[in-house]
Amino acid sequence: MTPYEAALASADRLGEATGCERHDVAVVLGSGWGPAAEQIGEVVAEVPLVELGGFPAATVAGHGSTVRSIAAGDRRVLAFLGRTHLYEGHEPHAVVHGVRTAVLAGCRTVVLTNAAGGIRPGLAVGQAVLIADHLNLTGRSPLTGANRDDLGPRFVDLTQAWSPRLRALARAVDPSLEEGVYACFAGPQYETPAEVRMARAMGADLVGMSTVLECIAARHLGAEVLGFSLVTNLAAGLSGEVLDHAEVLAAGAAAAERVGALIAQVVARL
């Protein structure tokens, strides 16, 4: 089975498991974003990802392994609680399997969230930042290998990878939202201070280990993508403190609810 066939099969199973053949919006909730799910709408079904096929078991603390089908007004939202990362040893096709499944299940809008290190001066821990563009520093792509020309093009244009229309919608809900460029490293180690300076020189405002391959896969299938980074630490060498995963999760939990409500308002205005 190719990754595209696997995602089509998972989309079918998702329809059966949720009793809903088509969903409209996918939301991927990263590290510490669990509380945001409660804000989106009425939970209609919750399905363990392993039941859908194609998903590896989650390994990192703070990452769940279910997808919720949520009724939000007249929209049906798929909220993934947890995601798959390259640093767990998975291939790009596994990292983007959830997003592909969601888009093939009907989602024309994909909202990606993550926790990130802040690089740009002025960004504060606990601040949510709209992703305006990205740097793929992983050296990997989810589009390598045989393409399904009926599903998406061989060569994908990423000029508007992060939808200007959706960003404008988000800023209409919260005019105080700042935008930034998200740089994705493969991890799992955090950067050295020299690598953070390199990313800054390349134009990065935020640094993390997720989201970018999912954006590429969603754009390939023609979905519109919106993204939020929650700054949960300042990148290495910027605060004079060492980075600690527990601290990262605590900071994320505090702000997740606020940003969850913001996502709900954006979904209502799509």
Q: Which residues bind ligand 8IG (CB under 6 A)?
A: 31, 115-117, 185, 187, 190-191, 207-209, 232-233, 235, 243, 248
Nearer to ligand 8IG, 58 or 77 (CB): 58
Residues in the chain: 270
3-state secondary structure of 101: helix
User: Which residue is it, tokens 């997808």?
Assistant: 67
Active site residue 21: no
Is the distance from CB of 97 to CB of 53 less than 8 angstroms? no
Asked if residue 180 lies in contact with residue 229, where contact means CB atoms within 8 angstroms, the answer is yes
| 33 versus 185: smaller Cβ distance to ligand 8IG | 185
Q: Least distance in Å: CB of 190 to ligand 8IG? A: 5
Question: Of these residues, 191, 195, 214, 224, which one is catalytic?
Answer: 191
Residue with the shortest CB distance to ligand 8IG = 117
Closer residue to ligand 8IG, CB minimum distance, 111 or 238: 238
Among 234, 189, 187, 209, which Cα is nearest to 83's? Answer: 209
What's the min distance (Å) between Cβ of 211 and ligand 8IG?
10
Shortest distance in whole angstroms from residue 124 CB to ligand 8IG: 14
Buried residues in 165-174 as b, exposed as e (16+ CB within 10 A): ebbebbeeee
In sequence order, the β-bridge partners of residue 214 are: none
Catalytic residues: 191
